Structure 1
């Protein structure tokens, strides 16, 4: 058929992303290349350029036909085997075999270290030489994180035939070392190569361009040479991309492969020598998730969970930065003792901090917020990391001088807004969470050390006093006793996932319920007192409670009874009961509702508890379970927890369609390896261990605030009233027979404190406020009962 200029059928089907079930990711360490690729189902899928948070293609694979009735799509119709070429190095050999024995496609896939090019060295083996097989390369551009606004065309660069696409200021070029027999551009589902070949058994349409739509580039490859190199290159213009493609092919695949592998092996020689199966590769995974052009910025995952169901309205997926996940990744680099990596992460955190001292829930690499929620652990964890960086000599005094004003802002934000959190670490519920409170308290003690280092002793003292007060309220806020669930498991009580009420202690929650998100209607309705989470283990991990504390042991019994799943590959845990973030019961993708599945990183967290408790053998079993949960070395966010559903790619103990790989999971794996090697939890904060486990420090003060009003004051404590304006507190401890006036004092963090010590025989303190700046009375009284 003769060539036609513009493909019909614009704009094509609504664009969709692709599977997050990755079997490989690759990236050159050399700073000359800004390309990162992922593999799934035996083919190249999402490629990121010029930053790790910008996806540029949906996928690229081959189609094989006999020109008539036989149609084989590489990603769907062949059997895949993907392996790394060298141990721990993200260079891959992929073998895709036709189940009917007609052909085999063997590919080696790397990034050109010197250029923005993904290179595939391809060997096409035709088993029966008499078959008239034809081979087609099919590429779906999704440039600039967008599938529906791409323009493609057939062209050439200095005599080299290529296929091009562009969207905004990003372009790609696909070139082949052998001859293109035919080329065509079309709209997906109407005039693209897949539709054409499926209908005609060959590439009959040859359209020269398709404008602003969901498009595909298709080229038929001359099989006169059954070994060839395919280059997919990127640039700011199509000419820049074309130059990279042509130069990469001329430079030779072997040259690029040798340099690519050598650079990775040189870096890996700096790592600790441990025998753990996926230790070296997990280190590589962390390194590949760090942005080259935003040093220290580590995205959560080079994937979009359940991406095949997501379109242009979901541009970010998981390829943005979560400050919490970033600090977890920093912990992985701390375990690797790669100080320069940790230094970059801390500097990135400082550069992306908001003006008020907080960090975004998640953000694009330049620091622009993506989601707008607030989890207090995303404020607390960076403070802990700043102190670790200083104590481990990843920053000197001059750098600390530059960081301190920013660190102080974070500490102040934490003091003002904690311990209540708008969202827990799972970004879902508001309230008092054991995990969040553990990080906040550890952060306040870290903040006290930072304040002391920087000569602010008053602030240091206030941070410690507040940490003590918050620590003493953990059980008041989150430990329940005598519930039906406690009786069911024959324990006195347990820590709950979250308490959403500032004014109601855990012991008085009764039958109050919470309607968990990710559920239809009221299917998420759950008794708060029976909402159990693995998060209570953070109280041990962060050094606030001993591993043999009876309350921890009670909670462990409930966790294992309610949240543990034993798979053929090892033990794993759910985040909490009645979780709705995961596949549907029948295995269909999560669509805003679903059923929560087990998380491998929680096996790592449990492994750290076992180490704290002295059970190294148990920790080793959990490390091996994490090895088994990995897909070709990549750890998933979740694993399937039921009987196999082969037609949906779900197998008991193996990855689901959620994010894979998850950088946080790989960091947890690395930390577990090092903790096992050290026979102790290597990253447990020293300040909390010493203060709360060794010295068993109790609070002197009980804090009362308008947003966090305690109702009971232990008789041995001083009532500390905190306000954000200067005031005089008028109070009595004998029903206003005597009235006292106490002036508030500013503590250096924008908080005014008023300390009240009642008579030992008093049963209640009543108080009200006179606001100094406005010369107004509060107009109501408040009271706190004194516990006997």
Structure 2
């Protein structure tokens, strides 16, 4: 193998009594013991060893009635080391090994905030299931952390639709056993909710120390050592640049001047230069002005403003906060349509151009519909604006959008209601990311085929969306609705209580007969239970855990206090202060190493002008400050090196009024 995990690994299987037959072979070849057993029902030719490949070991144990036996599998860089490791494990009674393992988890759990003993509206059985799933969620979250690279939490310990992926397939994409900054943030909220601040802080340090790129951004996903993962695919997702800023503030890293200078400032500068529309939204499929993405940017920039102020950088604090305010004021202008087919006003999934009333179209992807009008595509991502404390849960456009979400995306199952990620009003799901269900208006067949085989399918319900809706209901004062969704979410879990990525909303589908081709076979689906993608999804476990803490406290525990105070506090949100750049003009070519920026704003306003190079591999923003004169005029000089430059001017007046404007120029 190549890449960051290319070290040699040897595996050895040891039994407490001699094997009657044994073989080491390569997956999917005649030397594969499973292939031999499936074909001939016996282990034929025995191979002494298998080197340099995807190895499978098969052994026949001398099984005797009423006499249990122990097997131990050991790994090491050498054969002798692997045998020694396995032998040591086999010599220790299994009960002792299990007891030591359990003691470690009991010790960890003793330091956590546990679940409530009872939630209003829950039956005794529901309370019991809630407590069991809460503890499981807390432990699954912690188990998702790599044991070598502390702070690296994977999105899931699974490959989605792993049963359909040939074992000999090299690691090239579509695994969830990687670090995604967005999923890490959601996991982080679970760690804070259960009281594990040590792991939460380690996660933040890992993201900034190991994953952050020289230009301040974060890749779509990374390997466990922090290197860029091969399935990043060149995608940019600016919400993943924003969430680490919020995490740093909530982890208590304010005041660390070097950390601010080396990590916070570059990340926030990147958002100022590239936001609000840069890359794809949280479902990783389409670019555009997305409510959920912009919500993350607002929260990240407000947090960055606080971190800048704590680090003594007042100029950037003003720049970041004023940019956040502008995004908060305009998110509706970019993402609420007044000309759509469902209602007079409502949030849409995204707008490619920032004009939600235009007849813009885009393809839904994953084998679904093409050329779909943006105004007909709905998702509930706008609820991030209320969860993060940027819009009131009673906001008229939020309230008007909820019935639209329900009419387009909601399905009722045996476990309770659930929602699709996004879609249009149609008979069946129009999200194509999921196990195939042929009656849906997507291009897939046969029913039950895993999405992975042809990258087409039918999207199903995402249980974590029950949690997001419950948090909205709770904020709006509807505790019974929120509690009911917590019960539904728990009922959708799989196995011991694992929250799946998706849950099946369609009629039951039987499993394909034994021996069917796993690339097309149905694994069997039950209405209201896990579909075939991935379980557990760590984001989902964190969503469930924090929802239980929400219900116990009758509040959204992960809502940032800094955004809530700024936009929903007792005073009004920051007032709008007009600010313009009169020179240079948008799109101008400017000569020389520096450029004089002039403009107007409110008299006496503090002006911060940032100049950055968005295409630079080490993008950073140089900030100049001044105070507007009696007539409101201002003038500063900023560097404008050769190539594209973005100039951002902000005004701050009286601590509670801000303005923002931006122009792009080319330096020569």
Contact 1:181 1:222 in 2 (8 A): yes
Judged with a 3 Å threshold, the aligned counterparts in structure 2 of structure 1 residues 579 and 314 are, in CA distance, closer, same or farther, namely: farther
Q: Alignment partner for residue 270 of structure 2, among 396, 407, 413?
A: 413
TM-superposition CA deviations, 1:709-745 (whole Å, max 9, x none) = xxxxxx9999999764899xxxxxxxxxxxx997455
Q: Alignment partner for residue 176 of structure 1, among 15, 20, 32?
A: 15
- Paired with 2:314 and 2:113, the residues of 1 have a C-alpha distance of 38
- Paired with 2:279 and 2:404, the residues of 1 have a C-alpha distance of 26
The within-5 A match list for 1:616-631 is 616-631=479-494
Q: Which residue of 1 aligns with 2:214?
A: 355
Judged with a 3 Å threshold, the aligned counterparts in structure 2 of structure 1 residues 515 and 220 are, in CA distance, closer, same or farther, namely: same
Q: Alignment partner for residue 420 of structure 2, among 549, 574, 578?
A: 574
TM-superposition CA deviations, 1:273-297 (whole Å, max 9, x none) = 3142301110000110001111111
TM-superposition CA deviations, 1:155-194 (whole Å, max 9, x none) = xxxxxxxxxxx99511111111122111123453524333
Judged with a 3 Å threshold, the aligned counterparts in structure 2 of structure 1 residues 513 and 721 are, in CA distance, closer, same or farther, namely: farther
- Paired with 2:94 and 2:663, the residues of 1 have a C-alpha distance of 77
Contact 2:180 2:220 in 1 (8 A): yes
Contact 2:579 2:602 in 1 (8 A): no
TM-superposition CA deviations, 1:532-571 (whole Å, max 9, x none) = 1110111111111111111001110100111111111112
The Cα RMSD (Å) is 3.2
> How many pairs are equivalent?
566
1:229 matched to 2:70? The reply is: yes
Report SS of the residue matched to 2:565: helix
Q: Which residue of 1 aligns with 2:338?
A: 481
Judged with a 3 Å threshold, the aligned counterparts in structure 2 of structure 1 residues 633 and 747 are, in CA distance, closer, same or farther, namely: farther
Contact 2:610 2:638 in 1 (8 A): no
Q: Alignment partner for residue 372 of structure 2, among 523, 526, 550?
A: 526
- Paired with 1:219 and 1:389, the residues of 2 have a C-alpha distance of 49
Q: Which residue of 2 aligns with 1:696?
A: 573
Q: Alignment partner for residue 360 of structure 2, among 495, 512, 517?
A: 512
- Paired with 2:378 and 2:537, the residues of 1 have a C-alpha distance of 24
Contact 2:318 2:608 in 1 (8 A): no
1:615 matched to 2:478? The reply is: yes
Judged with a 3 Å threshold, the aligned counterparts in structure 2 of structure 1 residues 746 and 461 are, in CA distance, closer, same or farther, namely: farther
Q: Alignment partner for residue 462 of structure 1, among 301, 304, 319?
A: 319
Q: Which residue of 1 aligns with 2:134?
A: 279
Judged with a 3 Å threshold, the aligned counterparts in structure 2 of structure 1 residues 339 and 214 are, in CA distance, closer, same or farther, namely: closer
1:198 CA displacement: 4.2
- Paired with 1:167 and 1:359, the residues of 2 have a C-alpha distance of 24
Contact 1:458 1:747 in 2 (8 A): no
- Paired with 1:336 and 1:527, the residues of 2 have a C-alpha distance of 42
Q: Alignment partner for residue 655 of structure 1, among 483, 506, 530?
A: 530
Q: Which residue of 1 aligns with 2:519?
A: none
- Which stretch of the first structure deviates more once superposed, 589-598 or 271-280? 271-280
Q: Which residue of 2 aligns with 1:266?
A: 107
1:252 CA displacement: 1.6
- Paired with 1:347 and 1:229, the residues of 2 have a C-alpha distance of 41
Judged with a 3 Å threshold, the aligned counterparts in structure 2 of structure 1 residues 754 and 436 are, in CA distance, closer, same or farther, namely: closer
- Paired with 2:299 and 2:460, the residues of 1 have a C-alpha distance of 29
- Paired with 1:204 and 1:768, the residues of 2 have a C-alpha distance of 73
- Paired with 1:532 and 1:706, the residues of 2 have a C-alpha distance of 34
TM-superposition CA deviations, 1:460-479 (whole Å, max 9, x none) = 11222211211111111110
Contact 1:623 1:673 in 2 (8 A): yes
Q: Alignment partner for residue 345 of structure 1, among 189, 193, 203?
A: 203
Runs of 5+ unmatched residues, structure 2: 118-129, 424-429, 438-446, 512-521, 588-600, 614-620, 623-631, 652-661
Q: Which residue of 2 aligns with 1:319?
A: 177
The within-5 A match list for 1:415-430 is 415-430=272-287
- Paired with 1:402 and 1:755, the residues of 2 have a C-alpha distance of 25
- Paired with 2:386 and 2:664, the residues of 1 have a C-alpha distance of 39
Contact 2:611 2:638 in 1 (8 A): no
Query: What TM-score do the two structures reach when normalised by structure 1?
Result: 0.67
Contact 1:743 1:754 in 2 (8 A): no
Judged with a 3 Å threshold, the aligned counterparts in structure 2 of structure 1 residues 208 and 744 are, in CA distance, closer, same or farther, namely: same
Judged with a 3 Å threshold, the aligned counterparts in structure 2 of structure 1 residues 197 and 413 are, in CA distance, closer, same or farther, namely: closer
1:629 CA displacement: 1.1
Report SS of the residue matched to 2:213: coil
- Paired with 2:177 and 2:254, the residues of 1 have a C-alpha distance of 32
- Paired with 2:347 and 2:225, the residues of 1 have a C-alpha distance of 39
Query: What TM-score do the two structures reach when normalised by structure 2?
Result: 0.79
Contact 1:746 1:753 in 2 (8 A): no
Contact 1:723 1:752 in 2 (8 A): yes
1:432 matched to 2:271? The reply is: no
Judged with a 3 Å threshold, the aligned counterparts in structure 2 of structure 1 residues 662 and 565 are, in CA distance, closer, same or farther, namely: same
- Paired with 2:507 and 2:258, the residues of 1 have a C-alpha distance of 56
1:309 CA displacement: 2.3
1:693 CA displacement: 2.4
Q: Which residue of 1 aligns with 2:625?
A: none
Q: Which residue of 2 aligns with 1:306?
A: 161
Judged with a 3 Å threshold, the aligned counterparts in structure 2 of structure 1 residues 443 and 252 are, in CA distance, closer, same or farther, namely: same
Q: Which residue of 2 aligns with 1:382?
A: 244
1:690 CA displacement: 2.2
- Paired with 1:239 and 1:300, the residues of 2 have a C-alpha distance of 34
- Paired with 1:430 and 1:304, the residues of 2 have a C-alpha distance of 25
TM-superposition CA deviations, 1:231-290 (whole Å, max 9, x none) = 111111221111111111111211101111111111111222314230111000011000
Q: Which residue of 2 aligns with 1:239?
A: 80
1:589 matched to 2:450? The reply is: yes
- Paired with 2:574 and 2:85, the residues of 1 have a C-alpha distance of 63
Judged with a 3 Å threshold, the aligned counterparts in structure 2 of structure 1 residues 469 and 191 are, in CA distance, closer, same or farther, namely: closer
